[in-house]
Structure 1
Amino acid sequence: MSLLTFHTPDGPLLTMCFRHHECFTFVVCDFGEPDVRRMLDSWRKQRGLQIQMVLGNKLVWHLEPARDSEIEELDRFREEVKTNDELAFVRSLAFARENGLLEEYAAQEATQRPRRLPKEGLVIEVNMLYTERFVDATVAYLK
């Protein structure tokens, strides 16, 4: 797992990225949202990241032990987003998607690995960890 920061006009968009060969799964969430911060605090306390994924028709749970560098990264994420502005988060996410920031990252990563992959062969999935506040902000943004 990688913790990434994408810069947008509304501030940083903090993202988790999981990669398996040519598959990139991005998880985007509002790290300023109190529920998300509680989840991150839980991960920090457990010194592990709880991951749930659907693979084919199976639901897979996994507790990924967190390295010290990942715990430090979570702490930096926490410091980077000190305020909770749901609408700014939604605008940042829209900017990243409209400008292909996540796809650009995946393409760069794929070409820098020992087993280089063509951009056309990548599978890029973007998931959002959302809360009720995120849904309300998204509705407000789309109006």
Structure 2
Amino acid sequence: MSQFKNKPNFTDTTTTEQRQLRLKGAEIGRFEPQGTVAFPLKSFVGEPILEAYASSSQWQKSISTRPTLSLVARRTPLGPFLTIEYRRADCWLFILADFGDAELWPLLDSWTRKKHGIMGVITGNTVHCTLNPVGDLSNFGIYRAELSRSKPVAFMNNVAYMVEHGVLERYALAETRPGEPRPIVELNLLSTDSVAETANRMEQFATVPKSSAFAALH
């Protein structure tokens, strides 16, 4: 589990115009493939799938490499939140999610039960799906208590801090070994109804974080 080493100042006094952020939107769907399904995936039909958007051309080049999927709980003065980390070679895709959001938990429950998670990464007009081991996620159950004290504005302020201060870019760079290419880092926000509604009300977010790619692909 991770936390900020120094308590950040969340009372940022910069102007609305300076702080406007645009984020891609990840979404939770159902794994309902067309046609024949390979044996390892048969038991996952109907299970939740996390779909996120990557725009860098480097993702197309990394598709043949083995992916890794991990989950990190980050603690902050405003409350904990979840970072889902998906990596292929030097490409990193981070999805930020609110533990207090009820739409997140069917996904976490499925991944905990199956010890695997299905990720769909959208590049251009293609969705690349992979089945990924996630290990034992039972410890994340302690964060279900956040459902009873949901604070979506606090979560969005955490997101704003992470983006504005390049926290995940620095993290990926620290995980890069000497001689390896500089990491390509992309960020998605798990765009549930609660998140979209809160983003609409908050001035530092210029757009509702929904990806237009989903409408074209489903």
TM-score by length of 2: 0.55
Q: How does 1:59-74 map to 2 (within 5 A)?
A: 59-68=127-136, 71-74=137-140
Alpha-carbon contact 2:78-2:155 (below 8 Å) kept: yes
Higher normalized helix content (fraction of residues)? 1
Structure 1 Cα separation of the partners of residues 114 and 74 of structure 2: 27
1:129 and 2:190 matched: yes
1:39 and 2:107 matched: yes
Structure 2 Cα separation of the partners of residues 14 and 50 of structure 1: 17
Paired letter, 2:135: R
Higher normalized strand content (fraction of residues)? 1
The aligned counterpart of 2:201 is 140
Q: 1:45: how far off?
A: 2.4
Structure 2 Cα separation of the partners of residues 42 and 89 of structure 1: 23
Let me know the Cα RMSD of the aligned residues: 2.3
Q: Which of 134, 158, 164 lines up with 1:92 in the alignment?
A: 158
Structure 2 Cα separation of the partners of residues 11 and 31 of structure 1: 9
Structure 2 Cα separation of the partners of residues 2 and 62 of structure 1: 13
Identity level (%): 29
Alpha-carbon contact 1:17-1:26 (below 8 Å) kept: yes
Q: 1:57: how far off?
A: 4.2
Structure 2 Cα separation of the partners of residues 9 and 67 of structure 1: 28
Alpha-carbon contact 2:112-2:138 (below 8 Å) kept: no
Indicate how the Cα distance of structure 1 residues 56 and 86 shifts in structure 2: closer, same or farther if over 3 A, else same. Answer: same
Q: 1:5: how far off?
A: 3.5
Which blocks of at least 5 consecutive residues in structure 1 are unaligned? none
TM-score by length of 1: 0.79
Moved more, 50-59 or 18-27: 50-59
Q: 1:40: how far off?
A: 1.1
Structure 1 Cα separation of the partners of residues 124 and 139 of structure 2: 31
Paired letter, 1:10: L
Q: 1:130: how far off?
A: 1.0
Structure 2 Cα separation of the partners of residues 60 and 97 of structure 1: 26
Select the structure of larger CA radius of gyration: 2
Alpha-carbon contact 2:100-2:146 (below 8 Å) kept: yes
Task: Report how many residues are paired.
Answer: 135
Q: 1:139: how far off?
A: 1.5
Q: 1:79: how far off?
A: 4.9
Alpha-carbon contact 1:3-1:14 (below 8 Å) kept: yes
Structure 1 Cα separation of the partners of residues 134 and 169 of structure 2: 26
